[in-house]
Amino acid sequence: GAVVSQHPSWVICKSGTSVKIECRSLDFQATTMFWYRQFPKQSLMLMATSNEGSKATYEQGVEKDKFLINHASLTLSTLTVTSAHPEDSSFYICSARAQTSGGAGTQYFGPGTRLTVL
């Protein structure tokens, strides 16, 4: 149980284009999903918290107009990187908190999406 998928796994795009990444909880409902970014040999950095049916909460220093997050249902959140630039190239990981889980930190991670912007 508690499987989270991401699509696509890997994307290469040209500078200036927009890229959408999907995060789905496959066998549970997630009122809250999280989007992280991980640069090579660095730890996960939380970008934003996505709550179903409401606006996402962004961490300090993360541009909300550049990283658009939509959490339209209890099983799907999307991250759109708008006008991507090479410095946006990174590993993007989502996690989902199961609705019935108890306590902090019961997050289940997706397999990640590697974005390369040329």
Partner 1 sequence: EDKVVQSPLSLVVHEGDTVTLNCSYEVTNFRSLLWYKQEKKAPTFLFMLTSSGIEKKSGRLSSILDKKELFSILNITATQTGDSAVYLCAVGRSYNTDKLIFGTGTRLQVFP
Residues that bind partner 1 (CB under 8 A): 32, 34, 41-46, 49, 93, 95, 97, 103-112
In degrees to the nearest 10, what's the CA dihedral of 112, 107, 57, 80? 20
- 16 vs 111 by CB, closer to partner 1: 111
Q: Find the helix or strand (DSSP H, E) in which 76 lies.
A: strand 76-81
User: Considering the complex, what minimum distance in angstroms separates the CB of residue 71 from partner 1?
Assistant: 13
- 43 vs 100 by CB, closer to partner 1: 43
- 31 vs 70 by CB, closer to partner 1: 31
- 86 vs 103 by CB, closer to partner 1: 103
Give the distance, in angstroms, between the CA of residue 115 and the centroid of all CA atoms in the same chain. Answer: 12
| Cα–Cα distance measured from residue 93 to residue 70, given in angstroms and rounded to the nearest whole number | 15
The amino acid at 76? L
Per the listing, tokens 């708008």 go with: 82
User: Considering the complex, what minimum distance in angstroms separates the CB of residue 33 from partner 1?
Assistant: 10
User: Considering the complex, what minimum distance in angstroms separates the CB of residue 32 from partner 1?
Assistant: 5
